[in-house]
Amino acid sequence: MKIRYKGIKRVYIGLIFIFMYAPIALLIIQSFNKSKSRGRWGGFTFEWYGSLFTDASIIEAFTNTILLALLSSVISVILGTMACICISKMKKKARNIMMGITNIPMLNADIVTGVSFMLLFLTLRIQFGFGTILLAHITFNIPYVILSVMPSYRDLNPHIYEAALDLGASPVYAFIKTVLPEIMPAILSGGLMAFTMSIDDFIITHFTAGAGVHTLSTKIYSEVKLGIKPEMYALSAMIFITVLILLILVNRVQGSARKEDA
Amino acid sequence: MKNELIHLNHISKSYGGKAVLDDLDLVIHENEFVTLLGPSGCGKTTTLRILAGFETPDNGSVIFEGKDITNLPPNKRQLNTVFQNYALFTHMDVASNIAFGLKIKKKDKSYIEDKIHYALKLVGLEGFERRSVRNLSGGQQQRVAIARAIVNEPRVLLLDEPLGALDLKLRQDMQYELIRMKNELSITFIYVTHDQQEALTMSDTIVVMNQGYIQQMGTPESIYNEPENAFVADFIGDSNLFPGIFIKDELVTIDDVPFPCTDTGFGTNRPVDIVIRPEDVKLVKKGEGTVSGVVTDVIFKGVHYEMCVDVKGREWVAHSTRPRQVDEEVDINVHPYNIQVMNKPESEDEEAVRENG
């Protein structure tokens, strides 16, 4: 009886995993399918991956994606960390309001955020292009950084900074030497989160990119509209694997930060 | 006494309209062990933070060796602080923690090594250089915090309830350690605590504070034996605190019973507060004392017995090494010298009596 019950649990969990990951597994399998016809297995190949790296427009989109992710995560980490310091110095009521405000963009539908950005840039007559995507990515990344850094900063013993001042450190030196190392795990995990979000994003990028500027996600979208090329399976599979690795990293960083606290 | 080192010149400070310090004036001398003693919220920690430079007073000034340092930032002051929760840098080892201040002052490597060695020896943690501060016990962390402060050779060491988190035995050991360190370093210690026993044990001078005012300042003996008001008497040690009438010089009445005393100059027939320490309440055979009562309670306290005696409906507490029986009838005697007469507080604001009443 007991064994059968356990078996049912396993089957149930297996089913859930199949539902969740079957489409992605299929995508990854197809990316290695030699046959151009999707309905038939024509043998194993790296051909589509190979041809990805010879397509100049895809390489450009790849460069854009990585550059955007790097710049937006670094800038949002700096802005987000500064915001945390200021918000935590506020009185309780103001602090709660600020935290509410920073949480809203995360819950807001991407399509609404994207359209609002487009409207804003149009109104301000800002030329669409790499710059506008970057601005948008920085903006939607900051809340993730705050979400990650805030608890760590609030847990910090405030006297550590004062102790450094007391021992003769200038405010900047004291911050770099005492506060920063303590909140570094949280900053790293917030930055990785932002990096992932930036790579992952399609909708907001779609609305804030001008003509001719592509990231991988918008590139895939525009290619798919014209008819699916097998290279796109390879590209999607790569994005999936990249994001997966990043998420594992985020978890690792957070996990080790928690272990140190214990 | 010695040279004047610090003068807190009529300091006031309030947070959100609530006064924490009100016109506090305090002089601290070189090589003095001063304890700021009072209940939580009395302003003692704020006073320390103003000294360290973490807070600026709303009014008044901080004078250090004749120079006004009120607006000098903490990193420019010749004072170092030992924080209540130690505030060690947890991502550094013991040696790096101690070297922190010296590295900022750009001291050379061999000097820093020597200093670390000396400081660890002073606090009794030799060989701990490479240990992580995370794995130290509370008492050891406390010692590292002290070592980190004293290597900078401060003129004044500020200690904010440094023993608060330690257990009783360790706390008593550390009290002796602190006195020893103070004597070895010959610098001024300013110590904040709410523990009256700690204050009495270690200090040259005790400053009793409440509600932002200095209630009394003096040697441990004078604070204990001659409290100036009811707050001090109640806060320091156990005491019998009674309302009484100052009939004339050297005579008071408690519940209409006359007691000779040694105080003079409180007027005639004036209501006063009277404090008698429990160890000064002598229980004698019925008929041999000033006033009679009945023992209502006997508690064993280790060194002595604590006994409650009902005298005309008022409870007197007496300490004695000789226990009495409950319901035993006894008489009470008090030596005139042990009756301490104090002015009643002037205002409704009972506790907040100004220093000079």
Q: According to the model, what pLDDT value does residue A167 have?
A: 94
Q: Cβ contact (<8 Å) for A163 and B87?
A: yes
Q: Cβ contact (<8 Å) for A170 and B149?
A: no
The hierarchical CATH code for the domain B4-225 is: 3.40.50.300
- Assess A72–B contact: CB distance below 8 Å, yes or no: no
**pTM for the whole thing?**
0.77
- Strand, helix or coil for residue B316: strand
Which residues lie across from B157 on neighbouring strands? B80, B189
Q: According to the model, what pLDDT value does residue A262 have?
A: 44
- Strand, helix or coil for residue A56: helix
Distance CA B121, CA B127 (A): 9
> Nearest CA to CA, how far is B196 from chain A (Å)?
25
% of chain B residues with pLDDT over 90: 62
- Please indicate, yes or no, if residue A7 is contained in any of the structural domains: no
Q: What residue in B sits closest to A161 (Cα-Cα)? A: B87
- Assess A166–B contact: CB distance below 8 Å, yes or no: yes
Q: Cβ contact (<8 Å) for B75 and A159?
A: no
Return the residue in B85, B93, B104, B161 with the most chain A beta carbons within 10 A, the one to mutate for interface testing: B104
Burial label, A108 (beta-carbon count in 10 A; 0-12, 13-18, 19+): middle
Q: What residue in A sits closest to B55 (Cα-Cα)? A: A162
Q: A-B interface: how many C-beta pairs under 8 angstroms?
A: 63
Task: Give per-residue pLDDT as tens, A77-99.
Answer: 999 999 999 999 888 899 999 98
Tally the C-alpha atoms within 13 A of residue B322's C-alpha that lie toward its C-beta. Answer: 5
Distance CA B150, CA B139 (A): 17
Q: According to the model, what pLDDT value does residue A5 have?
A: 79
Domain B4-225 matches domain B282-333 at the CATH topology level: no
Specify whether the CB–CB gap between B89 and B134 falls below 8 A: no
What is the fold, at CATH topology level, of the domain defined by B282-333? OB fold (Dihydrolipoamide Acetyltransferase, E2P) (2.40.50)
**Mean of all residue pLDDT scores within chain B:** 89
Range of the domain at A150: 46-261
C-alpha Rg value of chain A to the nearest Å = 23
**Chain A residues lying within 8 Å of B52, measured CB to CB:** 162, 166
For residue B297, give both structure tokens: 């309670």
Q: Band of the pLDDT at B117, cuts 50, 70, 90?
A: very high
**How many domains would you assign to chain A?**
1
Q: Cβ contact (<8 Å) for A169 and B90?
A: no
Distance CA A181, CA B170 (A): 32
> Nearest CA to CA, how far is B106 from chain A (Å)?
11
Distance CA A58, CA A220 (A): 9
- Please indicate, yes or no, if residue A26 is contained in any of the structural domains: no
Query: Of all residues in chain A, what percent are helix, strand and coil, respectively (each to 5)?
Result: 80, 0, 20
Q: Cβ contact (<8 Å) for B87 and A167?
A: no
- Please indicate, yes or no, if residue A34 is contained in any of the structural domains: no
Task: Give per-residue pLDDT as tens, A162-187.
Answer: 999 999 999 999 999 999 999 998 99
Task: Give per-residue pLDDT as tens, B156-183.
Answer: 999 999 888 788 888 888 899 889 889 8
pLDDT at residue B352 greater than cutoff 50: no
Nearest to B27 by CA among B50, B49, B51, B6: B6
Q: Cβ contact (<8 Å) for B89 and A157?
A: no
CATH of the domain at A165: 1.10.3720.10
Residues of chain A predicted below pLDDT 50: 262
Return the residue in A156, A165, A166 with the most chain B beta carbons within 10 A, the one to mutate for interface testing: A166
- Please indicate, yes or no, if residue A81 is contained in any of the structural domains: yes
Which residues lie across from B24 on neighbouring strands? B11
> Nearest CA to CA, how far is A198 from chain B (Å)?
31
Which residues lie across from A227 on neighbouring strands? none
Q: What residue in A sits closest to B80 (Cα-Cα)? A: A166
- Please indicate, yes or no, if residue A4 is contained in any of the structural domains: no
Burial profile B318-339: b = 16 or more Cβ within 10 angstroms, e = fewer: bbbeeebeeebebbbebeeebb
Segments making up each domain of chain B, as ranges: 4-225, 282-333
- Please indicate, yes or no, if residue A242 is contained in any of the structural domains: yes
* Type of residue found at B271: P
Please report the ipTM that was assigned to this predicted complex: 0.79
For residue B292, give both structure tokens: 């009679």
C-alpha Rg value of chain B to the nearest Å = 24
- Strand, helix or coil for residue B228: coil
Q: What residue in B sits closest to A171 (Cα-Cα)? A: B75
